[in-house]
Amino acid sequence: MEKILLRNIDIQDSHTLQVYESRGGYRALRKALKEMTPERVTEEVKASGLRGRGGAGFPTGMKWSFVPKDSLKPKYLICNADESEPGTFKDRLLIEKDPHAMVEGVILASYAIQFHTAFIYIRGELAFGAKVLERAIAEAYQAGYLGKNISGSGYDLELILHRGAGAYICGEETGLLSSLEGGRGWPKVKPPFPATHGLFGCPTIVNNVETLAVVPWIIDQGAARYAAIGTEKSKGTKLFCVSGHIRNPGVYEVEMGYPFRQFLEEDCGGVPGGKKLKGVIPGGASMPVLRADEIEGVRMDYESMQAAGTLLGSGGVIVMDDSTCMVKTAWNIARFFAHESCGQCSPCREGCHWMEKIFARIDNGSGEKADLDLILNISGNIIGRTICPFGDAAAMPAAAFIKKYRDEFEEHIRQKRCVLT
C-alpha cells in the first residue's frame, strides 16, 4: 500500500521545510492558489470522501460547506491538536515528524473556506511538538506560504499556535472553543454548530490534525486517487495507534476496510509472550471493548466497527492479553473519565465518580453482586443526557466491560479478589 500520511516520517529531517518541499511539499498549495477557486478545493475534498479523523467521522468537505458565505463576521479555522484520547498518539507523530503537512493542510482548508485567521490548538503537554510546529510556522511565513499575499495570490492568512494547559475535554470541539476564548474548557450546546456560531460566536471550522494533514495529498494527487482507496463509505487510509500487549506497538497507516484480525496478528506481530488475546479496544478508551471472539470478520472502517458494536473512533487500538484483569481495566478507564469530566452536566459529573468508586470497590474485594447492575443503571442514565459526547464516552465502555466479561466480574466479587492471580 502506498503511504499517504506517513510518506515523509522516516526521512531524515522530515520536519524541515527544505525536506518537505523536496518531497513535493507546498506543491498542492501553489496549484490551488494558481489554478483552483476556493469552491473547487472544497469540491475536491468532498469528492475524495475524506471523513474527520478526530473520532466522529463527519465528511470534511461537507463540514466546510456549512460556513455561511454571506456572514460579515470574522471566520476562524482551528486545527485540533489536543490529542488526549487514551491509546491515541498519531497526531503527536505527525506534529513532530511532518509539521509542514499540517500547516499546508491548514492553509488549503482556510483558502477553501476563505478564512484569514487560523489556529493550531496543541495540548500543553506536547512541549516538543509545540517547538517543532513553532519552527515550521516560522519557516512557512518566511517562505511566503503564510502572511499577506501568499505566493503572490492576493490571499492572506495568519496562523497562531495556541498551547493548552492540560484538560482532556478541550479535544471536544466546543470545549476547545471555550478554552480558546480564555475560559474553562466547557463544551457548548449544539446546535448552533461551530460552522455558524463558533469562536466568539463567529463561523468556525474545527478539524483534526490527521484530517488536515492529508488534504495536501488529496489536492496534489486528485480526489479520485484518494477515493479509490478504502471501502465504499470509508475512503482512504487511516492512522491506527497500537499499544498494550502487542509485539510491535506504534502508529500504522492502514487502508480502510483492512481485516482487523490480520492487522493485529500479522502487521503488529500479535500478542507476545505465548499469551492469548483477551480483548481489544479499537478506537480509544471511549469506545466499547471487543472480546477476542468478536474480532473475527471485523474490518477497520467506520461501518464494520459499528456493526460489531463499537466505533472506529480515533484509531487508538489498546490490546489486552489473557493475564489482564478486566475489573482493574474497567476501573482504570472509569478513573480516567471521573478525573476528566468537566463538571457541567450532573449525570456525567456525578455518574463518572460513582462508577469509578463502584469499580474500585469491586477491584479491592468489597463489591457486591448488585454493583454490576448499579453501574449499568448509572451508565444508562448518563448516555444521551449530557451537553457533549463525553458522557457517552464514559458510559459506553463501562457498560461494555460488564456485559462482555460478566462472569469474571461476578467471580471477582464472589472471591473478593482478582481471579487471574
Tell whether residue 208 is a contact of another protein (CB under 8 A): no
Q: Stretches 136-144, 256-264, 320-328, 377-385: which one binds another protein (CB under 8 A)? A: 320-328
Tell whether residue 160 is a contact of another protein (CB under 8 A): yes
The interface mask with another protein, positions 270-309, x = CB under 8 A, is -----------x---x------------------------
Among candidate residues 401, 357, 393, the one with its CA nearest the CA of residue 376: 401
How far lies 44's CA from each of 30, 38, 64, 155, 160, in Å?
A: 15, 10, 12, 19, 26
Q: 23 to 82, contacts with another protein by CB under 8 A?
A: 74, 76
The interface mask with another protein, positions 349-368, x = CB under 8 A, is --------------------
Cα–Cα distance between 237 and 252 in angstroms, integer?
10
CB nearer another protein, residue 159 or residue 195? 159
How far lies 205's CA from each of 62, 289, 404, in Å?
A: 11, 31, 38
Q: Stretches 103-111, 226-234, 316-324, 347-355: which one binds another protein (CB under 8 A)? A: 316-324
* Least CB distance to another protein at residue 143 (A): 20
Binding test (CB under 8 A) with another protein, winner from 5, 112, 295, 320: 320
Cell of 385: 443526557
Among candidate residues 396, 118, 187, the one with its CA nearest the CA of residue 284: 396
3-state secondary structure of 158: strand
3-state secondary structure of 410: helix
* Exposure string over 200-214, b if 16+ CB within 10 A, otherwise e: eebbbbbbbbbbbbb
Among candidate residues 73, 50, 70, the one with its CA nearest the CA of residue 60: 50
Question: 155 with 163: CB under 8 angstroms?
Answer: no
Cα–Cα distance between 104 and 83 in angstroms, integer?
19
* Least CB distance to another protein at residue 88 (A): 7
Cα–Cα distance between 112 and 306 in angstroms, integer?
31
Tell whether residue 96 is a contact of another protein (CB under 8 A): no
CB nearer another protein, residue 74 or residue 152? 74
Binding test (CB under 8 A) with another protein, winner from 15, 53, 97, 123: 123
Tell whether residue 198 is a contact of another protein (CB under 8 A): no
Tell whether residue 200 is a contact of another protein (CB under 8 A): yes
Coarse DSSP helix, strand, coil percentages of the chain, rounded to the nearest 5 percent: 45, 15, 40
Binding test (CB under 8 A) with another protein, winner from 242, 280, 345, 399: 242
Q: Stretches 24-32, 89-97, 211-219, 362-370: which one binds another protein (CB under 8 A)? A: 89-97
* Least CB distance to another protein at residue 329 (A): 7
Amino acid, single-letter form, for residue 255: E
Tell whether residue 199 is a contact of another protein (CB under 8 A): yes
Binding test (CB under 8 A) with another protein, winner from 49, 55, 87, 203: 87
Cell of 153: 495570490
Among candidate residues 262, 266, 267, the one with its CA nearest the CA of residue 251: 267
Tell whether residue 175 is a contact of another protein (CB under 8 A): no
Cα–Cα distance between 18 and 231 in angstroms, integer?
35
Give every CB contact of residue 297 below 8 A, 6+ residues apart in sequence.
Answer: 259
CB nearer another protein, residue 91 or residue 104? 91
Tell whether residue 315 is a contact of another protein (CB under 8 A): no
Cα–Cα distance between 227 and 278 in angstroms, integer?
35
Binding test (CB under 8 A) with another protein, winner from 15, 53, 92, 97: 92
* Least CB distance to another protein at residue 366 (A): 20
Binding test (CB under 8 A) with another protein, winner from 48, 117, 204, 207: 117
Tell whether residue 179 is a contact of another protein (CB under 8 A): yes
Question: 282 with 260: CB under 8 angstroms?
Answer: yes
Tell whether residue 393 is a contact of another protein (CB under 8 A): no
Q: Stretches 13-21, 100-108, 181-189, 216-224: which one binds another protein (CB under 8 A)? A: 181-189
* Least CB distance to another protein at residue 24 (A): 28
Q: Which residues bind another protein (CB under 8 A)?
A: 74, 76, 83-89, 91-92, 117, 123-128, 158, 160, 162-168, 179-185, 199-200, 241-245, 249-251, 281, 285, 316, 318, 320, 324, 328-329, 332-333, 336, 339-340, 342
